[in-house]
Each structure stands twice: as C-alpha cells, then as structure tokens.
Structure 1
C-alpha cells in the first residue's frame, strides 16, 4: 500500500469526520492526531490495506471512546462484476435474500416448561422487512406467564424495531422510549411506543428478564436500557458493549469505507445514555450462566406466586413448575 494512498485515505476520512461526526471537537482532535502520525511515518511499513483499516479504527476508537467508529477495507467492484456470468440480481436483492434466510435475526421462540417464554434474536431489522416475523413471535409468546428475551448475540440495528417490539411489552398508554440528538440541523428525534401493533401483546405487568453479554450492542443496548430505566425488565448477564451513537456508512475512496456516528441517544428518564459504559445488569453473571439464572429465578418466583395465590386449573402448571425446578438444580445453585 503506497504512502500516497494512505495520505489520501486519511485526508478524506478526516474531512468526513469533521463534516459528520456527532462531536465536532473530537473530530478535529482526531484530524490533528492523524496528521501527526503521517508526519511521523507511523504507517510507513503498513502494506496490507486490511491491517491499515484495523489500525485506523483502533486509533479512532482510542481517541473518541466510540465503538461505532469503524473503518473497513471494502474495495468497490466495477459495475460489470455485479452481473458476472449472467447474474441478473442487484446487491439489494442479495441482502434481502440473506436476511430472509436468517429469518430476520429471529432464531429461537419457545414455550419453556413452567409456561415461561423464550425469545432469542440477533438483530433489530427494520419493521419494513421484519414486522410480520416479529409480530408472529410476540403473538406466540403472549400467553406465557413470564418472558426471557435473549439478546446476548444481538449486534443492534434499527431503533424503529426497538419501538415496535417494546410496544408488545408495555401497557397501552403512550411511552416516550428514547430520543436522538442529530448533529445535522441540530435536530431531536423522539421514539415512542406505537399506537397499534398486530397480534397479541405480552403486556406490561408480567415478569420480563433480558439476557445480555459484552457483545450486546447499539440498538440491542437501547432496548435493554429503555426497559431497565422504566423498571419494566430485569437485566441478567454481562455489561453490554457501550455504543449509543446512531450513524451511517460513508465511502472514503474506492478501497475504504467508514461508519460515522452522527447523533447520540438521550433517555427521557436518565437524560443520558450507555455510550462507553454499557448497560449494567441488575443480576451480573457470566453470559454463559445468564439463561440458567434467569430461568431458575422465574421458575421459583412463579412457584411461590401460585402456591400463595392458587389459580383455577393451576394444578397442572404447578406440577410442571415443580418438575422444571427439579430439572434445574444446577442452575439453582448458581442463584444461591
């Protein structure tokens, strides 16, 4: 990789940061630091473009403490290559096929023993594409007594899907979930629960546990943070990744692109966000134990609740709860 290419890449990157990054003062600081590194020939022996991109990303994040800032080596293909060997689909079609085959990130929907629901999904895809799948999942889970939502592998996505799913987990009254300050035009964009979602809601009163890990990021963190600050959910697992800045990709040149945050989240309750610090669990345990802890805790609390307040036709459920508790003695020891 030639020095001229490195210089042109960093010059273009610096311009994009100054024009778009949510904190202009930090963007200027990063520009100055890159100029110093170039003058010191810091990248002189860096010939591999992927290594160059990784190095720049690390330096951006070290200065900004912003994990959303990310430079990628992603060479643009000539237009002819997009249609090689008679292929007649466009890249957007490839993307849609990919997310459909991935079931829009929804990987596990289950009624566990004891009438406890489990939902696992790995991305907050846009409701434009994923609403039907999400609504079907939430309708399936609506009659469970408690719900565990597993976002330990969820990298984030669209805040509109955060609002869509959250609406199923709260009472009907409108709730202000989050706001985003957007640098362009000094705009504040608010996100609220929706007046209508299809299917049946889980509701705002039954126990809700959310599982997190250090890989839980961005919109997934917003989902957990919003529900935690409202007192609606118990978070179990590890502190999350700490990315609260929305943004978008920019092409630096034909070889590199960069994701630049252009805004920041403002929670209506805390007036701050989880940027750089992550979401702190209510029950902090290694991610590998998070499910067992949440499930066992819910089994025991449900057993106690029904024992103290028997429900008509509840004997079958009590028997199921007792069997589940016996089958989860190892998890119970973690809680203890």
Structure 2
C-alpha cells in the first residue's frame, strides 16, 4: 500500500507533466511539499487526504478542476488501462442516459430539457437528437442545467449547434498544452433532429452547475442565443485528464483551456453570471414567466 507521501508525489508528477499553465507548477509543488513536510497530511486517510491536498492545491492555484478525488471502487494502475478516465466516463454516460434526465412539454407550449451531464458528440448524438425532436414544435425552450456537473466539449458544441441556423458559427476554441495547438469548435453541419434557431431559449443555472454545463450556458449567453436564469455557476473552464495515483485516488489535471470567440476568455474562477439572478429553486418559475411573456408579446 502506498504511503500518503508517495500518493502526493505521484500526483505532483502528473500535475507537473500535464498542467495547462506550466508556469504555475513550481508554486503548486512547493506549497504542497511544504505542507507535507510539516506533517499536515500524515494522519489523514481516504477522502480526508484528498480534500486536504485539494484545498492546498487550489489555495495556490484556484483552478476548480485541479484536485485529488477518492473513488470507492479499486482502480487499475496498469499503464495499458490508463486512458485519462475516458472509458469510465463513457460508462457513466450510458448509465445516466447520456445526461438527459427528463424532457417535458409544459403549459403554454414551452419545452423543458433537464441535463445532468454533457455527453460526447459521438456516443450521445442520438439521445441529444431524440430530446430535441421532442421539443421541436415548442414555442420556447428551457434548458435546465442546475444539476449539470460537467461533460464533453464536443458534446457541448453539439448541444449548442441546435440553437443556430447553420454550420457557420465559430463557438469557441480549446488550447491544449500537450500538443501546443488550438482546436476550433464550430456549429455542426448535420444534426439528427431539427434545429431550434429562432425561438426563445432560457438556460437555468445554479452554484452546482459546472464545467461542460457551464460551457453550454456561457457559449449560448455570449453569442446572444439564450437568457441565463438562476445563480452564478461554480467556475471550471479547463478540460481535464484523470490519472490514478493509487487504487483509490485520482488526480485530475487540467490539460487545456477554453477561449470563447466572443469574449476572448472563459468562465474559469468566476462562473457564468446569470442575466436574471434568482435563487436556483426559483429559476424555473422565473424562466417560464419570461418565456410566456416573450411568446405573447
């Protein structure tokens, strides 16, 4: 069994090799090693160790994706099995219906889609299309991301594609440290359900909304395609890789950063700020009122 010191050193090695801002690595390593030398982690175990190291990482470098995570089920440490958590993420998507929790037609011909995760474009295209097909005839749409905890940049781009008329909208870019290159994300040219380009869209957010969910909210808001209703989101804009450093501990390392084509920046550390600020549990009511007013005006 690995000691806490060995787990921490393995995590710092992964951070040093992959973190998207290499100029910040030295300060992160110094702070965590200083705390370790002072015995701050010696008596901690499991989730408590992960929480303590994460707090110290983020005190030096306030990146919400930079953290240690405890997993109950033992994981393989063999390099052949390591894929940045991709296989586990895809299994999670399948188990959770690719993030689509519910689709409803509400009074006043208003569609509602609630998402818990943002699926991948390849694996989840059919489910995204099925959800959008069910609301295709609505007069306005509410996209509920209040409990959406993240997902795939490609999937976020596919969701966003439905709300624009064609494939000519440059949504955002993602810079990757590992390749020192920038990938552009545009609206998709072909979608498995009708587009929704010309009717009101309201995106619900909360302080829980994170990562891929924030990507959808921020992008639609920045491009003037949706009204964001609710609370400021958590503020995690950096795509990450997950690496096992022990049988039960993962380190998540941001390896890339998002760049919105309208704002030139992203939501890291600040969150997506709503256009209509209300408590999360009041966001649906506020959005429905705004939608009904827009439909009847």
The match for 2:69 is 72
The match for 1:25 is 23
The match for 2:245 is 252
In the TM superposition, what whole-angstrom CA distance separates every residue of 1:234-261 from its partner, at most 9, and x where no partner exists? 0000000100000110122344221100
1:76 CA drift (Å): 3.5
* 1:174 correspondence with 2:168: yes
Determine if contact 1:143/1:202 at 8 Å carries over to the other structure: no
The equivalences for 1:101-250 within 5 A come to 101-203=95-197, 205-250=198-243
In structure 2, the residue corresponding to 1:172 is in which secondary structure?
Answer: coil
1:293 CA drift (Å): 0.5
Unaligned runs of 5+ in 2: 78-85
Q: Does 1 or 2 have the higher relative contact order (CA < 8 Å, sep 6+)? A: 2
Distance 1:296 1:8, change over 3 A: same
Q: Which runs of 4+ in 1 moved over 4 A?
A: 91-95
Tell me, in whole angstroms, the C-alpha distance in 2 between the residues paired with 1:185 and 1:157.
21
Find 2:33's aligned residue among 35, 39, 44. Answer: 35
Tell me, in whole angstroms, the C-alpha distance in 1 between the residues paired with 2:87 and 2:174.
27
Q: Which of the pair has more CA radius of gyration?
A: 1
Unaligned runs of 5+ in 1: 80-90, 306-336
Tell me, in whole angstroms, the C-alpha distance in 2 between the residues paired with 1:220 and 1:78.
29
TM-score (norm 1): 0.81
* 1:263 correspondence with 2:245: no
Give the structure with the higher percent helix.
1
- State how many pairs are aligned: 288
In structure 2, the residue corresponding to 1:184 is in which secondary structure?
Answer: coil
In the TM superposition, what whole-angstrom CA distance separates every residue of 1:211-240 from its partner, at most 9, and x where no partner exists? 000111101111111111111110000000
CA RMSD of aligned residues (A): 2.1
Tell me, in whole angstroms, the C-alpha distance in 2 between the residues paired with 1:140 and 1:233.
19
Distance 1:93 1:151, change over 3 A: closer
Determine if contact 2:140/2:200 at 8 Å carries over to the other structure: yes
Tell me, in whole angstroms, the C-alpha distance in 1 between the residues paired with 2:255 and 2:182.
12
